[in-house]
Chains A and B, each alone.
Chain A
Amino acid sequence: MAEYLVLIYEDESAMEQADPSAWQTMMDGHMAFGEKHGASMRGGNALQPAGTATSIRGDGAGGFTITDGAFAETKEALGGYYLLEAADLDEAIALAKEIPAAFGGVEVRPVRPLG
């Protein structure tokens, strides 16, 4: 078995403008996903909008530059994640397809085991 981090990227402005029922559908979808795949679930959460992000970069000489905003400004912003356990990429992709992401999509990244 291996772990996969599934990153949910969605268009924040489209989500804000969406009908409240779309929001409810999404939340119901996440609840259903969590209940159905509890055995594979190693973690997961929603994030505050990208506007709340702070990026910190070391300058290599002990100093830091702190800037407002996410590392990469994209139309679709990271809005949440799941940490899932799966036997292989096919199984991880099958799980990822069930994650609601009506305003974007998800990215599946294998976790590199350390140590």
Chain B
Amino acid sequence: MDASVEAAVADAHRREWAFVLAATVRVTGDIDLAEECVQEAYARALTTWPDQGVPARPGAWLTTVARRRAIDLLRRNATHERVLPQLVGTGDDAPDVPGAPGSIDDDRLRLIFTCCHPALAPESQVALTLRLVCGLTTSEVARLFLVQEATMAARITRAKKKIAAARIPYRVPAADELPARIDAVLTVVHLVFTTGHTAPAGSDLVRTDLVERALHLSRMLRSLLPEDPDVAGVLALILLTDARRPSRTSADGTLTLLPDQDRSQWDADEIAEGLALVREALGRRPPGRFALMAAIAAVHAEAPTWSSTDWAELVGLYDLLVRIWPSPVVSLNRAVAIGFADGPAEGLAALDALAAEPQLATYGYLASARADFLRRLGRHDEAAAAYRRALALTDNAVEAEFLAARLAESEREARPAS
């Protein structure tokens, strides 16, 4: 097999999967059948392209092959009188022509909105999006979320069954519903990103594959919904956060936090693109939560050093964010910003006001943020206790190693027990 053909098929898989599947679903009216046909089209590409060359428009080629296969199978099914339940919204008026401007883009959006329908459980929305929009196999999705393949397969099957049985429509929502539904989609994309940015468990800090899927999804959304400020906000947030990736772990794999990161390693292109998008996202008043989160990331991206960070600006942004998106985690980040703007005692007081939040009871960052302020206040005994607590709450090996080092440092500083 010619390596360049294999690479072309892999590239077409990454870039065009959603395009090809979305267009094929319109023909089949059934997600499973469409997936089968699209998989066959990619398999056909592997055997055909070495002889005939890689087509100029691989997506159109794959769509044609997948649709032809679907029509074949549907004809055969019709003779066997096995009629599939039609996905709602696929048999309607708009028969699209492959390559017609607008119609195909529309199909990809239909697919995304169906996968991220609020009637599906959040973990199913994420799984379906990675499986159907990104084209990952069930075992790949299972590995990304560290669950058994059988568990993930059952989750995906259950979600697909619900789409068919409850008639979740294959449609771009009406204008009045659109903002809420876009928010649901962006929540899924953001969750994919945060899961990859700091993996909840495992030996690596970052799951690069998840980060790249999130970036790919948000770029796709940006091209499909270029006017939407929240879409711009999510893409900006992901770019500005991901720009720090090279400096987050040192050469020996240990965690480096924001204050100690080598900012010259930050990805300047991602930052430039992200900053332009933030300005666009903030253009709408009042700004949405992703625009504000991106603006917070932008404050860090623009500071040449940790000590020159504009903490007052950050506290102001967190104040706005807490108002439109009240969550204990946002309040926690706000408290940390206060600690740097006004001093560790003020930060500690703001953190302790959150101690009773049940959602934060098992959230390691509360304990590690307290530990950090206690350490800066010279209260090393208490800092050590907080580091111990944070350590007990993380399953990520890189984070654990970092916290263990800080704990040892605090224990050394603490007065010996009398």
Q: Do A and B come from one complex?
A: yes
Interface residues of A (CB under 8 A from B): 2, 87-90, 92-93, 108, 110, 112
Beyond A89-B168, A108-B166, list 16 extra A-B contacts (CB 8 Å): A87-B88, A87-B167, A87-B169, A88-B88, A88-B168, A88-B169, A88-B171, A89-B117, A89-B166, A89-B167, A90-B169, A90-B171, A110-B165, A110-B166, A110-B167, A112-B165
Q: Count of A-B contacts with CB under 8 A?
A: 28
Task: Say whether B89 contacts A88, CB under 8 Å.
Answer: yes
Task: Say whether A93 contacts B167, CB under 8 Å.
Answer: no
How near does chain B come to A64, taking the closest CB pair, in angstroms?
31
Across the interface, which residues of A come within 8 angstroms of B117, CB to CB? 89
The answer to the question of B173 belonging to the interface, with a C-beta cut-off of 8 Å to chain A, is yes
The answer to the question of B119 belonging to the interface, with a C-beta cut-off of 8 Å to chain A, is yes
Q: Mark B347-377, 1 if CB is under 8 A from A, else 0.
A: 0000000000000000000000000000000
| B117 closest partner in A (C-beta) | A89
Q: Mark B165-208, 1 if CB is under 8 A from A, else 0.
A: 11111010100010000000000000000000000000000000
Q: Report the separation of the CA atoms of residues A2 and B88 in the bound assembly, to the nearest whole angstrom.
A: 10
Task: Say whether B119 contacts A88, CB under 8 Å.
Answer: no
Tell me which residues from 148 to 169 in chain B have a Cβ below 8 Å from any Cβ of chain A.
Answer: 165-169
Across the interface, which residues of B come within 8 angstroms of A112, CB to CB? 165
Q: Report the separation of the CA atoms of residues A108 and B168 in the bound assembly, to the nearest whole angstrom.
A: 12
Across the interface, which residues of A come within 8 angstroms of B167, CB to CB? 2, 87-89, 92, 110
How near does chain B come to A91, taking the closest CB pair, in angstroms?
8
The 4 A-B residue pairs with the shortest CB-CB distance in the complex, in nearest-first order: A88-B169, A88-B88, A88-B167, A110-B166
Q: Report the separation of the CA atoms of residues A92 and B117 in the bound assembly, to the nearest whole angstrom.
A: 14
Task: Say whether B166 contacts A90, CB under 8 Å.
Answer: no
Across the interface, which residues of B come within 8 angstroms of A89, CB to CB? 117, 119, 166-169
How near does chain A come to B110, taking the closest CB pair, in angstroms?
13
How near does chain B come to A79, taking the closest CB pair, in angstroms?
23
Across the interface, which residues of A come within 8 angstroms of B88, CB to CB? 87-88
Can you list 5 A-B contacts with CB-CB less than 8 angstroms, sorted by A residue number? A87-B88, A87-B169, A89-B167, A89-B168, A110-B165
Q: Report the separation of the CA atoms of residues A89 and B173 in the bound assembly, to the nearest whole angstrom.
A: 12
How near does chain A come to B380, taking the closest CB pair, in angstroms?
48
Across the interface, which residues of B come within 8 angstroms of A92, CB to CB? 167
Across the interface, which residues of A come within 8 angstroms of B168, CB to CB? 88-90
| B88 closest partner in A (C-beta) | A88
Task: Say whether B165 contacts A93, CB under 8 Å.
Answer: no
| A87 closest partner in B (C-beta) | B88
Q: Mark B83-94, 1 if CB is under 8 A from A, else 0.
A: 000001100000
Task: Say whether A90 contacts B173, CB under 8 Å.
Answer: yes
Across the interface, which residues of A come within 8 angstroms of B119, CB to CB? 89, 93
Q: Report the separation of the CA atoms of residues A89 and B87 in the bound assembly, to the nearest whole angstrom.
A: 11
| B173 closest partner in A (C-beta) | A90
How near does chain A come to B167, taking the closest CB pair, in angstroms?
4
Across the interface, which residues of B come within 8 angstroms of A108, CB to CB? 166
Q: Report the separation of the CA atoms of residues A110 and B88 in the bound assembly, to the nearest whole angstrom.
A: 14
How near does chain A come to B251, taking the closest CB pair, in angstroms?
52
Q: Mark B71-90, 1 if CB is under 8 A from A, else 0.
A: 00000000000000000110
How near does chain B come to A93, taking the closest CB pair, in angstroms?
7
Q: Report the separation of the CA atoms of residues A93 and B167 in the bound assembly, to the nearest whole angstrom.
A: 11
How near does chain A come to B353, taking the closest CB pair, in angstroms?
31
